[in-house]
Amino acid sequence: MFDSGDFSETPLWYKDAIIYELHVKTFFDKNGDGIGDFKGLTEKLDYLESLGVNAIWLLPFFPSPLKDDGYDISDYYDIHPHYGNMRDFKNFLREAHHRGMKVIIELVLNHTSDQHKWFQRARKKDAPKKWRDFYVWSDKPDNYLDARIIFQDFETSNWTRDPENEKFFWHRFYSHQPDLNYDNPEVQKEIFKIIDFWMKMGVDGMRLDAVPYLFEREGTNCENLPESIDFLKKLRAHVDRYYQNRMILAEANQWPEDAILYFGNGDACHMAFHFPLMPRMFMALRMEDRFPIIDILEQTPPIPDNCQWALFLRNHDELTLEMVTDEERDYMYRVYARDKAARINLGIRRRLAPLLENHRRKMEIMKFLLLSLPGTPTLYYGDEIAMGDNHFLGDRDGVRTPMQWSADRNAGFSRANPQKLYLPVTIDPEYHYETVNVENQEQNQTSFLWWVKRVIAMRKNFKAFGRGTIEFLHPDNPKILAFLRKYQDEIILVVINLSRFSQVVELDLSPYAGYTPVEVFSKNPFPVIQEKPYIMTLGFHTYFWFVLKKEVVASPEKKVREISLLKSKSDWIELFSSQLKTKIESMILPQFLMEQRW
């Protein structure tokens, strides 16, 4: 076990992080206008601290027309007035750091809003080449035809004709998001200025949006080009030169062999999302077979020691199914999105709880997997209380509804007239905010919220989860996923029953003969491992973390120790103001507390 108190000052802090993702507008409305703001988020930092997260990832909060929920940025140097002002952001940043929390913000590298001054300047008919070259233009929409269209439900081409200058501009996403021209050195300089602005302010990390699409080259699919990797290496060198303990995270929805390009040789991005793993975790649970998880992780090449995968179950977008085969996508649609209204682009726009039919054990298994596999886990706001969604709202707004704090009006999110809320609160009978909210679950220690708190707190005691190796076991029973996480002298055995029925499994743990598996939550020792197969009987959807200890742990029944007895002639109130207070604090209480299971 290790002390996580040094988290904030560690260069590799992102390996030990528990990231919490949220949009400022969704979390808490302090000024009563129906939209969450930085003052409200700052007020709820104590909640996040109690949850156990130590890094906050903020979705875009910059000035924007909000046609794409803020990913269409019109000014990189300010705060959208809906969310407050720069003073509010700096106060939030200071309070987060005071609690030992890192702050990660978005940097949308690939494109801007068509309302950005750069584009307004570039689109003019008589615009000089210096301004025009900030974006990618063509007289005809017949270049880069091998590039796929990402938002297939909304766009039919990656080119759009601008009525002002009658030329076509290039965009990989929505037509109101023109792509920047990274072949122009002036664009790269502007990006470095933006990074300096926010890094000097004190942000700890940046999620780089849509990094596979920065450059375009004829005859390619315009993804994962060497030029993009070279630019990211320049960006990383700049960050390392001028700032300490900062992190950049690549959002690259690619197959593992392509995604690892964004690590470089440990000199590009510190982190990257492991997109292909996410759908396969859902597949494994539904199929009751460990194969999809083991298969994709065995396809994942090793990464540099100073790099880390970022893992997630759900985020602010759809459960993307781009990095699966057509057959796998059809299967996922059949079992997780029978209602076609839940499908969008190549994904499913549902939250975790509705995806798993609000099945408590299944949600626990998925969270347990997220916290057990190699990488840094990312939690999406509201999933810790099993919030529902409304997939009948437009685009992906169904998974971006207000955080549910209490059974009060507007789910305790805002004092505004309900009609003023940026999105309606969830009133689905199964996930209604009057039932599913933080206040209710904080009062019930068997709630999903308390379960999440306990598992996060336990995970933070072991570096093996964030930094260790993984070694899969291959028992004959395919419904059991078992693996070892190892780091220095820590050995963690993870055993998960993916089946809805009880199972028996024989694990080959012979290399650890003589070790005792100790269940981490109860501290109960299990039978000592021997050379022969280790037999376990598992209930439905059961999961375990065991610490393998070399020494034999005595059973609790055999351990008998008298409780310390303190005698004093003085009044018991005076006892705590006398010299005995020091003895109680330094000797008696610490020894007693260390021996308690809790």
Alpha helices of 288-359 — where are they, by DSSP H?
291-299, 326-336, 352-355
- For the chain, the residue count is 598
The answer to whether the beta carbons of residues 508 and 473 sit under 8 Å apart is yes
For 55, what's the count of Cα atoms within 13 Å in the CB-facing half-sphere? 25
Residue 305 phi, psi dihedral angles, 5° rounding: -60, -30
Tokens of 145: 């035809």
Q: How far apart are CA 4 and CA 225, in angstroms?
A: 39
| Amino acid symbol at 504 | V
Q: How far apart are CA 69 and CA 208, in angstroms?
A: 16
167 secondary structure, DSSP code: -
* End-to-end alpha carbon distance in the chain: 15
Structure confidence at residue 191 (pLDDT):
97
The answer to whether the beta carbons of residues 318 and 354 sit under 8 Å apart is no
The answer to whether the beta carbons of residues 134 and 118 sit under 8 Å apart is yes
For the annotated catalytic residues, the residue numbers are 209, 251
Structure confidence at residue 524 (pLDDT):
94
DSSP string, 360-387: HHHHHHHHHHHHHSSSEEEEETTGGGT-
Q: Residue ranges of the chain with pLDDT lower than 70?
A: 1-8, 552-580, 582-583, 587, 595, 597-598
Token pair 């798993």: residue: 356
